């Protein structure tokens, strides 16, 4: 059982060194979501097609949900 579910205890310094690349990749992911959402909002402003607004709101919702469940800001 211990071979399948290996547990590791980190010191706080080791944990932050382990978590830093993961946090950077998450922030890049959120930045891309935000950029695509802003792009579609701008398209909505110019073309007035609701599908662009709905898609940008969908992306913002995904970003908020992912942020609530995956990023620890403390």
User: Residue 69 burial by CB count (10 A; 0-12/13-18/19+): exposed, middle or buried?
Assistant: exposed
Instruction: Give the H/E segment covering residue 58.
Output: helix 50-70
pLDDT at 34: 95
Q: How far is CA 24 from CA 29, 52, 71, in A?
A: 9, 28, 11
Confidence of residue 22 (pLDDT cuts 50, 70, 90): confident
- pLDDT score for 70: 76
Cβ burial, residue 67 (10 Å; 0-12/13-18/19+) = middle
CA separation for the pair 23, 67 (Å, rounded): 11
> Is pTM, for the whole model, over 0.75?
no
Q: pLDDT tens digits, residue range 25-54?
A: 889 999 999 999 999 999 999 999 999 999
Q: 4 pLDDT exceeds 60?
A: yes
């Amino acid at each position: 059982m211990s071979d399948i579910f290996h547990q590791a205890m980190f010191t706080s310094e080791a944990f932050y060194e382990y978590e830093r690349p993961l946090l950077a990749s998450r922030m890049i992911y959120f930045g891309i979501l935000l950029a695509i959402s802003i792009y579609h909002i701008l398209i909505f402003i110019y073309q007035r097609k609701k599908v662009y607004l709905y898609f940008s709101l969908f992306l913002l919702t995904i970003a908020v949900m992912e942020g609530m469940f995956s990023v620890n800001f403390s």
